[in-house]
Amino acid sequence: MKALRLRSAGNIELVDEPSPQPETGEALVRVLSVGICGSDLHWFMQGNIGDAVLHQPLVLGHEFGGVVEGGPLDGRRVAVDPAVPCGACARCREGNENLCPTVRFAGHSGTDGGLREYIAWPTKLLHPVPDGFDDSTIALLEPLGVALHALDLGHVRFGAPVGVVGCGPIGLMLVQLAHAGGGSSVIAVERLVHRRHAATALGCEVAVGPGDVGSCENTVDVVFEVAGNDEAIVAAMTIVRPGGRVVLAGIPDDDMTRFPASLARRKGLTIAIVRRMKDAYPRAIRLVERKVVDLEPLASHTWPLEDAAEAFTSAARREGIKTVIAVSA
């Protein structure tokens, strides 16, 4: 089979490897499509993500789905939950599997991800999807799960105004979820003009650049930061009202987050931090099936596996919205 391995920062290679053999409790999945996430770009551009460093060639990709070959789900198209928690630690037992300290995660550290033609994965983590979902939509269910977890952490009150800082794929999902969850209005802050236009097209009432956040000061109850830089966090803390809540979902390049303590302290802000998701796939699938959330417009660029290096470069330039790699037909 073909597999795409990251050997060092910026050095990604398409190689031939044997197909994996499923173990007990696993199924073989023929991968259809993989979304490139911001964390994948950290691996590609820097050779690390936070304190996790590339020690061996790694197959990236944790936003993916495919077709099961063999077993009880044979022939079914599925979304793949990339996280394999231990199930036995205190965090898992209390229902916080996303905080499991020994979780294995596709495309991270020593666990190969979805940018290959076949993957063997625990059957219990494969979620069948409706026939009407296209391949890109299946791949985007994972970031939708992250957006849902962020929304849960935001505790958005019905009828409350909401802010989203950073209108990449997850930010644009949050724009839609905020409306669907009863938010009265959404203010978006985004540096790139085409992404501000996308936010408006998806229902955002106000979309401004970082230089105009002063006009939106103290106007929202809850704000979601999905850009991963200090400027975005300051913007989020500027537009949220005193006593409001800021949910940080972005991942900074240098593994450090900085903001003016006086700004957060004087407003008495509550800060929550997103760690992946919590068993969100069934909810995500239902929301897309019911057309509460539309994922198709977000998949703006699709590349074949053979052109994956160009796909990563394009995604790093923030071209379009979401870059998807088509692994097999």
Residue 118, domain member (yes or no)? yes
Same domain, 241 and 136: no
Same domain, 131 and 172: no
Whole-prediction pTM value? 0.96
Output the tens digit of pLDDT for each of the chain's 329 residues. Answer: 999 999 998 899 999 999 999 999 999 999 999 999 988 998 898 888 888 888 889 999 999 999 999 999 999 999 999 999 999 999 999 999 999 999 999 999 889 999 999 999 999 999 999 999 999 999 999 999 999 999 999 999 999 999 999 999 999 999 999 999 888 899 999 999 999 999 999 999 999 999 999 999 999 999 999 999 999 999 999 999 999 999 999 999 888 999 999 999 999 999 999 999 998 999 999 999 999 999 999 999 999 999 999 999 999 999 999 999 999 87
| Domain that includes residue 267, residue range | 145-273
In terms of Cα–Cα distance, which of 118, 113, 48, 57 is closest to 84?
A: 113
As a whole number of angstroms, the distance between CA 108 and CA 70 comes to 26
As a whole number of angstroms, the distance between CA 72 and CA 280 comes to 22
Residue pLDDT, tens place only, 28-82: 999 999 999 988 998 898 888 888 888 889 999 999 999 999 999 999 999 999 9
CATH number of residue 153's parent domain: 3.40.50.720
Same domain, 135 and 10: yes
Same domain, 126 and 190: no
Q: How many distinct structural domains can be found in the chain?
A: 2
Same domain, 321 and 205: no
Residue 285, domain member (yes or no)? no
Residue 116, domain member (yes or no)? yes
In terms of Cα–Cα distance, which of 305, 302, 303, 301 is closest to 4?
A: 305
What is the number of residues in the chain? 329
CATH number of residue 84's parent domain: 3.90.180.10
DSSP 46-61: HSEETTEE--S-EE--
Residue 280, domain member (yes or no)? no
In terms of Cα–Cα distance, which of 94, 122, 218 is closest to 163?
A: 218
Sequence-distant (≥ 6) Cβ neighbours of residue 126 within 8 angstroms: 27, 29, 68, 73, 76, 78, 79, 80, 81
